[in-house]
Structure formats: C-alpha cells, structure tokens
C-alpha cells in the first residue's frame, strides 16, 4: 500500500503543492489530473523515488521508500515521459533487457507474446529507431505485461497511441486492478476503466 | 633470361624475402579477401531479397490509400 | 517546361544487366595484365645494383600509390555528379570505389614501410610523400565511416558525396602544405628518391601491373555497384524480377 | 527592439538574429564557453607532465603543442554547433524559414567562433610564456590563431552538419575534420617556428589568410547542403 | 493550393503508401489519420519539403515545392513531433526568434499578447527548461498566432495539451480556415472544427 | 537463451546483462568503436605535423604524446557512457531496477573499456613504430596502457555521471576528469621513459596496478551516487 503524507513540492521559486495526503490501496487506480504545469510529473517522480520531496513522506507498506530503495523498486514499475527505448536495439532486445533487469521472466516466448499483444507482430526484429512514435511507446508498454510488480506509476501512457492501443492499455489496467494491483496515472484524456476503484486528485 | 638458378634462390629474394614476399603476399591477400567478401555479400543479398520480396508484395497490396 | 530527366540516362535498371556482362571481361583483363607483369617483374628485370632484390617491391608499391590517388579523384567526380545531377548510379559508383581506394592506400603504406626498412633502416619517416599518403588514408576512412554510420542509403550517399568533394578540394592543399612543411624544416635525412636509371624491363613490369590494378579496380567496383543497386532498388519491380530470375 | 516587418527583413537581419540568439544561449550556459578554454589550457599543460620538464625540448614543441591543442579544443566544441538545435527541433524549423540557409549557417559559425575560437586566441600568449617562447613567437602565435581558428570553425561546420543525428557523431566528426585541419595546423605552427628562427612568418600568415577567404566562400554552402541532407 | 500527385513513400524495406493523390484548397482542413506507424509523420515531412518523396510530386500553386524552396517556406508553417523550443531561452525569446526568422512581425507587444492567449501569462520570462511538457508545446504553438502563412502543417499538435488548450487550438484552426487558410493535421484525438471543410485521409 | 526466473537473477546475471547489452549496442554502431581508435591514431599523427619531422625529437616525445592521446580518446568516448541512456530514459529505468547500482555501473564501465580502451592498447605499438620507439619501449607502452586505460574508464565514469544533463557536459567532463587522470599519465608515460633509458618500469607499473585496484573498489560507488544526483 502506498501512502503519502503532507507532501510538498517546490520547483524553482514556485511551490506547486503542499500538504498533500492520499493513499493507494490494492485494486485502486489514482488518476492525477490538472492543467499543464500543475505538477503531475513532479509528483510522479517523487512517488517512484527519482526526486526527493521538499517536505513530507512517502511510505510503502508503512516504510519510507527512501530507506527501502531496491526493495521498493522490486514492486514498482515507472513509465515516464521518456519511453526508455534504445534506438539501436530491436524491439525484442529492448524488451528483453528491460525485463531481465527488472527481474521478470525473460523467456523468449513470453517476450514475443507480449510484443504480439501490443500489436507489434512482425516488427520484433526491427531496430527501434525505425519505429514510429507510437510504436516505440508500445514497445515500452509491453514491459507492463511481463513485470510482476504491484504498483504501476504511469505518466501519460496514452501519448501518441492510436485508438486501438489506448483501448488495449485500458484493458490491461483493468486486469491489473482486478488482480489487486495499484496504479497511479496521469493523462489528459478520459480514462475508462471497467474494473477497480478509480480515485482522482486534482492539482491546480 | 631468368634471374634465378633455383626455386630456393627465388624464394630467398637475395635476403630480402620477408620484405618482398610480405609486400606481394599482403597485396594478394587483400585482393582475394575483398573479392571473397563481395561474392559473399552478393549471395546473402540475393537470398534476403527473394525472401522479403514476397512479403512486401503482400504488404503493398493491402496498402491502398483511401481518400 | 519539360525538364531533362537524368535518371533515364543513367538508370540503374538499364545498367544492371550491362554491368553483369562487363565484370567477366575486366576480370579476364586484370589477370591478363597481372601474369606478364609478374613475369617481367621477377624474371626479366635484373636486380638493382644498389638495392639488390628488394627493389622488386616497387612493381606493386608504385602502382598502388598511383591508384590510391587516382581512385580518390575519380570517386569525388562520381560523387559530385551524383549530387548535382541527382543520378543514383553515380553516387553508387562513388561508394563502390571507396573501399578499394582505401585498400590501395593501405597497400602503398604497407609496401612502402616494408621497402623502407631495408633501404632506410626504419619503417617510417615523416617525409612529405609518406605523410600525405597517410592523410589520404584518413580521408578514405572518414568517407567510409560516415557512410557506415548512416543507415539510410540515400542519405549516406549524399552525405559522403559532400565529404568527398570537400576532400578533393583539400587534397592539393594538403599535398603542398605537407611538402612545404617538410622542406622548410631541415629535410628528413632520407627521402623517397627515384630509382636511378630505370631499365626498360622494370618500367614495363610497373606499367603492366598498373594496368592490372586498374582492371581489378574496375571489376571489383562493378561487382560492388551491382550489390548497391540491388540494395537501394530493392523495392522496385525490376529487382523483384531480376532476383526471381537469378534464383 | 528590432521591429522588422515581414517585408524588409534582410539577409543582414537574419544573420544578426542568429548570432544574437546563439550568443544569448552561450551566455545562459557560460560554463560551456569556459570549458573549451580550460580544455585548451589543460591539454597544453599536460604535455610537460608526459614528456618531462626540459625547457629546450619544450620550446621546440611549443608551437606544435599549442596549435594541436587549439585544433582539438575547436573540434570538441563543434559538437555543440548544430546538435542541440537538431535534437530539440529548432534546426528543422530553421531549414523551413524563408531565409537563405548559407546566411544562417554563417551566423551560427560566427557565433561559434566568438565563443570558442576567440578566447583561445586571447589566452594563447599566456600559455606560450609557460613554454618560454620569445616575444616575437608569442605575437605570431596569437596572430596565426586569430586567422586560423575561424577556418577551423568553418571547416568544422561541414563535418558537424554531416554527422548530425548519426550515432557516435562526437567522435566521428573528429575523424572527418581533423585531416582537413592539417594545412591550417602546418602553416599555423610553421609560422611561429619561422618567426622564432628569424625567417619571418609573412608567407605562412598570407597563406592562412587565403585559406580563410576560401573557407568563407565555400564552407557555408557546403555546410548548408550537409544540413539539408541530414534532415531528410 | 497544395496538390499532391502520385506520391509514394518508402521507409527502409517498406513501402508505406503509393499512388497518393489529393489537394488542399483554401478554407480546407485535411485530417490525416491512421494507426501508429502508418506513415503520417513521413507524409507530413514530405509535404513541408524536409524529406524527398520516393516517387511523385508535391506542388504549391502549380509549382513543385522542390524548385520553390524558400518561396514555399514563406507561406508554410510546420509543427512537428519536436517542439523546436530552446530550453535555455525564455518563452518570450523563443517566440521572438521563431517569428523573426519566419519573417513575421516581432514587436514585443504582439509576442506578449500571443503568449498570453496561449495561457502563459506570467511565465514569459521563465527559461523553457523549467516549463512542463504541455507548457513547452504551448510556447511552440504561439507561433501560429503570429506567422502570416497560409498553409499550416501540424503533426499531433494536441499532444500533452490539457483540455482548455486543446479547445483553444481548435478555435485557432477554425479562424485560420475561415480566413482562407489551409491546414494539414494529424492527431489521434477527435477533431472538432466549427468552420471550414474537413476532409480526411486514412492511411493504413 | 537466458531463462532466469525472477528469483535467482544474481549480481553476476545483472552484470552480464548490462555488458551484453552495451556490447550489442556497440556492434550495432560499429563506426563508434572504430572512430575512437582512429581518433587516437590521427591525434598521434598530428604532432609531427605541428612539431617537425626530426626523429630524435619525436622519439623523446613519443611516450608522452601516445599517453596524452590515449587520455583524450578515452575522455572523448566518456560522453557516450551514460548520456545516450540518459536522453532516451533508459538510465532512469536502470536506477529503478531492483539491482544494486554499483554492479550496473561496473558493467557499463567494463563494456566501455572493452570498446574504447582495449583497441588503443592493441594499436599503440604500431604508433610507437612511427615514432621509432625501440622494442622494449613498445612493450612497456602496451602494458602500461593495458593497466592504465581501465583506470581512465573508471574515473571517467564518475565525471560522466556528474555532468549528465548539464549542457555542454562533453567539455565539462573533461574539466572534471583530466586533473584526476594526471597521475595515470605521469606513471604511464614515465614507465615507458624509464624502460627506454634502461631503468626498468617495474615501479611505475606496480603503482598503476595499485591505482587500478583502488579505482575498481571506489569508482562504481561514486559513479552510482553521481548518477542518482543527476537524475533528481
Ligand atoms: C610508408 C612508406 C612509403 C609511402 C607511404 C610511399 C608513398 C608513395 C607515393 C604516394 C608515391 C607516388 C608519388 C607520386 O607519383 O607522386 C610513391 C612513389 C614511389 N615510391 Fe614510395 N612510399 C613509401 C616508401 C618508399 C620507399 C622506402 C621507397 C624506396 C626506397 C619508395 C620508392 C618510390 C618510388 C621509386 C616511387 C615512384 C616515384 C615516382 O613516380 O616519382 N617509396 N610512394
Ligand atoms: N526550476 C524551476 N523553476 C521554476 N519553475 C519550475 C522549475 N521547475 C519546474 N517548474 C514549474 O513546475 C511545473 C512543472 O510541473 P510538471 O512538469 O510536473 O507539470 P505537469 O503537471 O506534468 O504538466 P504537463 O501536463 O504539461 O506535463 C511547471 O509549471 C514549471 O513551470
Ligand atoms: N528505415 C526504416 N526501415 C524500416 N521501416 C521503417 C524505417 N523508417 C520508418 N519505418 C517504418 O515506417 C513507419 C513510420 O511511419 P511514421 O513515423 O510516419 O508513422 P506515424 O503514422 O507518424 O505513426 P505515429 O502515429 O506512431 O506517429 C513505421 O511503421 C516504421 O516502422
Ligand atoms: Mg507532465
Ligand atoms: Mg508520427
């Protein structure tokens, strides 16, 4: 369970938000929304431990994520504005490295299967640099299918995806919630998740 | 009007064998390697092309533009 | 206003079969020059009174050095044509010549070094001619690396064409700079000298092997151009047919 | 404030706009400007450490070492000339403006030289003193760098344009341009040598001047062509 | 008027489309859509002259854009996947340089006004690197308000924009069409333009 | 195929995975590997052009020049160690994997050395020949580079980590790491000098070995910390 208490974020001269409290329980999706520049990305980077909060604490199952560090990473997957795809590696190799380092199961069949589900069948052996904007994001998202982590932190996962792919990802999120996973998400599009509890935080 | 009375004399090159044969040998080697590499390149290329040809033919058929 | 379509005159499609027919001829010619060249070089030309047998390196050293320079100029010419007239065949010729040119440059350096050890007692001196040959090798390597670093063949051809043209403007400048640099300082204790009085048989051997190298270059470049054509035109109908036929 | 309307925005205006932009950028990341300079200073100072402290040897080497260091410093800063613009898409936009490309390129090269070439010229005499160069050597060193470094920037622009977006561009560019830099190196260092041995550096400097003229005329076009090719 | 005849696009081994014909008349919006990797970006880059077509021709008022080059650029604005924003310059400086080079009117008041309309009031003097994803895109879009070009080529202009900003841009497009402008656009979201003719091309 | 489950994926596995990944990347852009090498060759060849062709002078300079060139080549390739990963977001992901960061860093450094250090060691004797070094000099040159270049990569990793995302990082990194490289340069070049003057290079080489050991132990931690700071 992810708990946030009294969180404050300061960027440059500006205090983006302060005194933020919330928690995410298994089976819950937290949709952080707000206009451009309201601090969504900043919040998510704190939640996954990349940035340090100005004030307040973030706890995972009761312990501060700063002290857990690698143990927290074992249970969390972050997907940011940057897709984390190496242009020279093929789609398959990209996925394999990501899964291996995350400690997931990197059997060849599973990888191919995941790419297939993301609509990349036949592109597995193309270097990522020749893939289109949306295809690259799909490769990155395929990781979600293979990492057995409980908390997903996704920063605008729908960017550059076409309608089919957006549906696919929403379906995936439902499944994850259904299995007791947790999701923190930002997006400017509408989220339509059939299963699980959806909660919202509005930043301004 | 040969310069050499025996094969071994020819091979010895008046004591300069490593230099002379080193030059000629490397030259020949480079040329042979270049030709072999080229032949190999052509062979693999033809194989790959005839394989991908079929695939692209299908793709371009389904790629009609609809306005 | 109808514009001249240069593609039509140098279309790879028209040349592809022609090239196929030319390759065997040049191969035969290359062999036909090499054999008498080697015969003259080893069996007719007498030993040098100063250098003994080591001078026989000259019969490949000098042709290789000549070729390395000729090829660069020819290559730049093709590259320029490819860029200005937008003719695909020309830029393919340019990229087909480069590896062979680099090889001859390397050979000139290699044979020169092997000749230098017995003659001058050292593998290398910073003489003008030697240095500019080394720089020429760097230019070739730059050309080849640039081409290797770009995946899109069209872009690779055009980018390296610009480089080749810039290089060809620079080659005379580099050559004279190096020459002047070297002579302004106290000259290196030894310089590349002409062979004393060259016997006719020596000259014949050198000329024959030069022609052999030329023919070899043409044959190899044509072979490479055939591969390039196939690679760059792989989407066109005629390649599909040609590939079908050749299988 | 520049209140140029859409009609009378001249070539000179476009040139000035680019130079002003690039200088502003350089001022925003002042560290950049200083680091080229420090790189130059450090490389020159490394040699005595690698070679040993005898002043006689060092004096012979001085012009060569300073010039090679200038070459390397100028080459290293090349990567910055276009690649940031390429990555954030401003170069793409620049190619699509109605201004002639060679003018824009010339503007960028000029700004680049002001930031990475000029400081070298100014600091070089100081380094020459470290190597115990005589006054006439110091003067010619500075003058030859003043005439030579713009040539380096101009030739470098072509290489930088060609290697844009190419992986390993940073090192590749050095491979492309270093051989082309050689005449500048030879006449730059040669001029200082000549001055020190009392032969007069006139000839060397005039040749450097001729290179500069040639490069000014040809390089912007070539670099422009290179940029267009890289964007395809 | 933009005319495209018999256009073919080849990327790597794949022919993305061939034999494409269309024209865009004043007051028309062309919405290019299609799934990820169908060649939308490739098409737009050809239309603005950055990439060369494998076959076919693109004409502006009857002349090939290859021969027009700078004259074509005078009448066209392109907005790509990359925003074209320098991180170190402030929002205002970014806009000023872009407008000056495009030959527009770079008076200070106009610039401030445009930024204001894009919802960046008070951020004009922040360096772009501290702006959020969406704010950067807004700075880039402000250019459209100031460049008197007739043809706009926009590749996913709505990416990272919040709802308000999307509405704003749609409003802007309407106005442009109303004044006889032309727009070529890709986006995976729905386009809702009150004025002008909207035509669609579907790539597959 | 590596069929490691989520449980038994060991430190060694993580190390191997990173090394394999980086070597694959290097093979994909083979030009990169070669360009570091050619850069080294070209820089070494530039010096005679700046300084003059006398063999006696050149022989004295040789160890210093080769070592400085190795320093520069290794430093230039540093930029590649993390910055591509930083830009495309893979570094961010790497920091968030459950593997200990120093192990991942060590993997990256090792791959980097294989690609950019080892080739220098192999080609250096050839360049030594151009400078007319005697055989014992050539041997010690190669050995000292073999022990010294990994130290350069390790120290460099710290600098590369610290300058990530800083504009003009490429030049800034040189400013940070060159001073740290100096001891390696002194003992590396000094060893060759000593061997050539018949004093024996034992002491120099052992010191280089000690540096290597120290760097192996400390640098991965420091570089890991630098990366975390850069990502904030
Ligand atoms: C690495 C060492 C060497 C290199 C790079 C080299 C390079 C060259 C080049 C570029 C040429 C053609 C020059 C021209 O036609 O203007 C040439 C020609 C020649 N070289 Fe070398 N050379 C080397 C060593 C030697 C040595 C050791 C000798 C003999 C002692 C030698 C003898 C000749 C001769 C006789 C010619 C033909 C002369 C002429 O046509 O003017 N070279 N070499
Ligand atoms: N160093 C800084 N100085 C001043 N303001 C800053 C600094 N860094 C960030 N900011 C401000 O903080 C906000 C950044 O927020 P963030 O990137 O988290 O936005 P976001 O909610 O993700 O927006 P978007 O929807 O556009 O992605 C912006 O308003 C930006 O102007
Ligand atoms: N060099 C190449 N080799 C093979 N395929 C390539 C190459 N370059 C591009 N492609 C293919 O061309 C397509 C690129 O299309 P483009 O980027 O125009 O897509 P798009 O329609 O803009 O997609 P998105 O909606 O994801 O932005 C992709 O399918 C990609 O795989
Ligand atoms: Mg954001
Ligand atoms: Mg796209």
What is the mean predicted confidence (pLDDT) over E76-92? 90
CB within 8 Å of F104: residues ≥ 6 apart: A101, F14, F15, F18, F94, F97, F224
What is the mean predicted confidence (pLDDT) over D12-16? 90
> What pLDDT is stored for residue A136 in this prediction?
92
Tens of pLDDT along F111-152? 999 998 999 999 999 999 989 888 889 999 999 999 999 999
The kind and range of the H/E element at E2 are: strand E2-11
Question: How many beta-carbon pairs below 8 A join chains D and E?
Answer: 91
What is the mean predicted confidence (pLDDT) over C230-246? 72
Confidence of residue C7 (pLDDT cuts 50, 70, 90): very low
* pLDDT of D7 over the 70 cut: no
Other chains touching C, judged by 3 or more CB pairs under 8 Å: B, D, E, F
Q: Which ligand is nearest to the CA of C110?
A: 1
pTM given for the model? 0.86
Nearest to D50 by CA among F123, C181, F109, F44: F44
Cα torsion at D73, D76, D78, D84 (round to 10°)? -130
> What pLDDT is stored for residue F5 in this prediction?
40
Which is higher by pLDDT, F79 or C157?
C157
CB within 8 Å of E126: residues ≥ 6 apart: A12, E90, E91
* pLDDT of C119 over the 90 cut: no
> What pLDDT is stored for residue C65 in this prediction?
94
Other beta carbons within 10 angstroms of residue C2's beta carbon come to 4
Cα distance between residue F91 and residue F164, in whole Å: 11
Nearest to A51 by CA among A41, A36, A62, A37: A41
Tell whether C73 is covered by a domain. Answer: yes
Tell whether C136 is covered by a domain. Answer: yes
Tens of pLDDT along A65-84? 988 888 898 899 999 888 88
CA of E128 to the centre of ligand 2 (A): 10
> What pLDDT is stored for residue C181 in this prediction?
79
* pLDDT of C106 over the 90 cut: yes
Percent of chain D residues topping a pLDDT of 70: 94
What is the mean predicted confidence (pLDDT) over C69-89? 90
E10: chain C residues, CB-CB within 8 Å: 235
Which is higher by pLDDT, D57 or C63?
C63
The side-by-side arrangement of strands in the sheet containing E2-11 is E14-24, E2-11, E55-60, E63-64
Q: For chain F, what's the residue count?
A: 232
Tens of pLDDT along E146-180? 988 999 999 999 988 998 999 999 999 999 999 99
Q: How many domains does chain C have?
A: 1
Which is higher by pLDDT, B23 or D166?
B23
* pLDDT of C209 over the 80 cut: yes
Residue C131, chain F, CB below 8 Å: the answer is: yes
* Buried-state track D178-207, b at ≥16 Cβ within 10 A, e below 16: bbbbbbbbbbbbbbbbbbbeeeebeebbeb
Judge contact between F92 and A84, C-beta under 8 A: yes
> What pLDDT is stored for residue D123 in this prediction?
94
Residues of F with CB under 8 A from a CB of C: 29-31, 34-35, 38, 42, 45, 48-49, 52-55, 58, 129-130, 132
* pLDDT of E129 over the 70 cut: yes
Tell whether C101 is covered by a domain. Answer: yes
Confidence of residue D3 (pLDDT cuts 50, 70, 90): very low
Tokens 């070529």 found at: E184
C188: chain F residues, CB-CB within 8 Å: 53-55
Tell whether C8 is covered by a domain. Answer: no
Determine the structural domain holding residue C142 and report its residue range.
Answer: 16-246
> What pLDDT is stored for residue B57 in this prediction?
56
Tell whether C11 is covered by a domain. Answer: no
Ligand 2 atom nearest residue A16's Cα:
12
Tell whether C60 is covered by a domain. Answer: yes
CA of E91 to the centre of ligand 5 (A): 25
DSSP string, A103-132: T----HHHHHHHHHHTT-TT-TTSBGGGS-
List helix spans (H) across chain C: 6-9, 12-39, 58-84, 88-120, 128-149, 153-184, 200-232, 237-246
Cα distance between residue F124 and residue F141, in whole Å: 7
* pLDDT of C2 over the 50 cut: no
Residue B53, chain E, CB below 8 Å: the answer is: no
Instruction: Answer whether F2 sits within 8 Å of A106, measured CB to CB.
Output: yes
Judge contact between C91 and C12, C-beta under 8 A: no
> What pLDDT is stored for residue F56 in this prediction?
84
ipTM of the complex: 0.84
The kind and range of the H/E element at E184 are: strand E182-186
Alpha carbon E14 to its chain centroid, in Å, reads: 26
Tell whether C65 is covered by a domain. Answer: yes
> What pLDDT is stored for residue E103 in this prediction?
83
Instruction: Answer whether F185 sits within 8 Å of D46, measured CB to CB.
Output: yes
> What pLDDT is stored for residue C245 in this prediction?
58
Tens of pLDDT along D215-229? 999 999 999 999 999
Of E78, E88, E108, nearest to D29 by CB-CB distance is: E88
Ligand 1 neighbour C179 (Cβ under 6 A): no
What is the mean predicted confidence (pLDDT) over E91-106? 90
Judge contact between D204 and F66, C-beta under 8 A: no
Residue C102: C-alpha distances to residues A36, C99, C210 (Å): 55, 5, 16
Cα distance between residue E48 and residue E73, in whole Å: 8
Cα distance between residue E173 and residue E162, in whole Å: 17
Residue D53: C-alpha distances to residues D40, E53, F187 (Å): 19, 62, 15
DSSP string, A29-59: EEEEE-STTSSHHHHHHHHTTSS--SEEEEE
Q: Which of E91, E118, E131 to mutate to test the pocket of ligand 2 (most atoms within 8 A of CB)?
A: E131
Average pLDDT, chain D: 88
Residue E173: C-alpha distances to residues A50, A112, D219, E165 (Å): 39, 42, 41, 12
What is the mean predicted confidence (pLDDT) over A160-175? 91
Q: Which residues line ligand 2 (CB under 6 A)?
A: A 11-14, 16, 34, 36-42; E 126, 130-135, 160
> What pLDDT is stored for residue C246 in this prediction?
52
What is the mean predicted confidence (pLDDT) over D186-194? 91
Rounded to a whole number, what is the largest CA-CA distance in chain D? 64
Residues of C with CB under 8 A from a CB of B: 42-47, 52-54, 56-57, 60-61, 64, 99-100, 103, 106-107, 110-111, 114-115, 117-118, 216, 220, 223-224, 226-227, 230-231, 234-235, 239-240, 243-244, 246-247
> What pLDDT is stored for residue C174 in this prediction?
85
Tell whether C10 is covered by a domain. Answer: no
Which is higher by pLDDT, D45 or D33?
D45
As a whole number of Å, the CA-based R_g of chain E is 17
Q: Which two tokens stand for residue C57?
A: 């390196």
Ligand 3 neighbour E45 (Cβ under 6 A): no
Of D35, D68, D175, nearest to F171 by CB-CB distance is: D35
Question: Within chain F, which residues score under 50 in pLDDT?
Answer: 1-8
Tens of pLDDT along C39-69? 999 888 888 877 888 889 999 999 999 999 9
CA of A46 to the centre of ligand 4 (A): 13
CB within 8 Å of F197: residues ≥ 6 apart: none
> What pLDDT is stored for residue D148 in this prediction?
96
Which is higher by pLDDT, D71 or C178?
D71
Residue E15, chain C, CB below 8 Å: the answer is: yes
Cα distance between residue B52 and residue C234, in whole Å: 9
Lowest-pLDDT choice from C123-137, C162-176, D2-16, F157-171: D2-16
């Amino acid at each position: 369970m992810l708990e946030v208490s009294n969180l404050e974020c300061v960027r440059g001269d500006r205090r983006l938000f302060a005194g933020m409290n919330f928690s995410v329980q298994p089976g819950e999706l937290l949709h952080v929304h707000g206009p451009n520049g309201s601090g969504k990305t900043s919040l998510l980077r704190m939640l996954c431990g990349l940035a340090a909060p100005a004030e307040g604490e973030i706890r995972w199952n009761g312990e501060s994520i700063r002290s857990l560090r690698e143990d927290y990473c074992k249970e969390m997957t972050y997907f940011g504005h940057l897709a984390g795809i190496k242009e020279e590696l093929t789609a398959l190799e990209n996925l394999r490295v990501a899964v291996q380092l995350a400690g997931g199961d990197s059997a060849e069949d599973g990888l191919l299967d995941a790419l297939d589900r993301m609509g990349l069948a036949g592109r597995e052996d193309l270097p990522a640099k020749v893939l289109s904007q949306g295809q690259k994001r799909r490769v990155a998202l395929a990781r979600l299918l293979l990492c057995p982590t409980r908390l997903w932190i996704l920063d605008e996962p729908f960017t550059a995806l076409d309608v089919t792919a957006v549906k696919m990802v929403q379906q995936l999120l439902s499944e994850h919630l259904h299995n007791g996973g947790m999701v923190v998400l930002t997006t400017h599009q509408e989220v339509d998740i059939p299963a699980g509890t959806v909660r919202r935080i509005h930043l301004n | 009007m040969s310069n050499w009375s025996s094969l071994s004399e020819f091979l010895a090159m008046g004591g300069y064998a490593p230099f002379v044969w080193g030059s000629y040998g490397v030259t020949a080697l480079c040329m042979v390697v270049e030709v072999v590499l080229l032949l190999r390149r052509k062979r693999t290329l033809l194989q790959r092309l005839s394989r991908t040809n079929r695939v692209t033919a299908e793709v371009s058929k389904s790629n009609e533009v609809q306005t | 206003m109808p514009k001249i379509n240069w593609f039509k005159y140098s279309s790879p499609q028209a040349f592809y079969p022609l090239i196929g027919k030319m390759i065997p001829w040049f191969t035969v010619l290359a062999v036909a020059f090499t054999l008498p060249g080697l015969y003259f070089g080893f069996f007719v030309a007498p030993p040098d009174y100063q250098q003994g047998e080591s001078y026989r390196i000259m019969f490949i050293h000098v042709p290789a050095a000549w070729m390395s320079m000729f090829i660069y100029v020819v290559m730049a010419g093709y590259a320029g044509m490819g860029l200005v007239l937008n003719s695909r065949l020309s830029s393919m010729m340019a990229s087909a010549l480069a590896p062979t040119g680099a090889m001859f440059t390397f050979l000139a350096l290699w044979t020169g070094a092997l000749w230098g050890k017995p003659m001058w007692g050292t593998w290398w001196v910073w003489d003008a001619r030697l240095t500019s040959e080394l720089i020429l090798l760097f230019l070739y390597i730059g050309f080849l690396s640039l081409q290797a670093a770009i995946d899109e063949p069209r872009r690779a051809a055009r980018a390296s064409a610009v480089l080749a043209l810039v290089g060809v403007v620079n080659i005379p400048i580099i050559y004279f700079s190096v020459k002047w640099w070297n002579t302004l300082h106290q000259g290196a204790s030894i310089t590349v000298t002409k062979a004393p009085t060259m016997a006719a048989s020596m000259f014949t051997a050198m000329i024959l092997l030069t022609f052999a190298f030329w023919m070899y270059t043409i044959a190899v470049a044509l072979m490479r151009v055939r591969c390039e054509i196939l690679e760059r035109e792989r989407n066109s109908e005629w390649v599909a047919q040609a590939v079908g036929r050749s299988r | 404030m520049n209140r140029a309307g859409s009609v009378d925005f001249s070539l000179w205006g476009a040139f000035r706009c680019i130079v002003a932009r690039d200088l502003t950028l350089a001022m925003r990341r002042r560290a950049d400007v200083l680091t080229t300079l420090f790189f130059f200073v450090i490389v020159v100072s490394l040699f005595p450490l690698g070679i040993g402290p005898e002043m006689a040897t060092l004096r012979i080497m001085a012009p060569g070492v300073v010039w090679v260091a200038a070459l390397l410093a100028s080459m290293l800063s090349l990567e910055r000339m276009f690649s940031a613009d390429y990555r954030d898409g401003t170069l793409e936009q620049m190619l699509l403006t109605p201004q002639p490309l060679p003018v824009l390129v010339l503007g960028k090269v000029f700004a680049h030289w002001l930031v990475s070439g000029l400081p070298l010229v100014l600091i070089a005499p100081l380094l020459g003193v470290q190597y115990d160069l005589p006054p006439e050597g110091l003067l010619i060193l500075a003058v030859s760098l003043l005439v030579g470094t713009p040539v380096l920037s101009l030739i470098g622009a072509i290489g930088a344009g060609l290697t844009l977006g190419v992986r390993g561009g940073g090192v590749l560019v050095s491979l492309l341009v270093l051989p082309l830099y050689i005449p500048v190196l030879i006449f730059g260092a040669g001029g200082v040598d000549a001055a020190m041995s009392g032969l007069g550096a006139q000839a060397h400097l005039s040749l450097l001047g001729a290179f500069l003229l040639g490069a000014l005329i040809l390089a912007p076009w070539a670099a422009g062509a290179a940029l267009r090719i890289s964007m395809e």
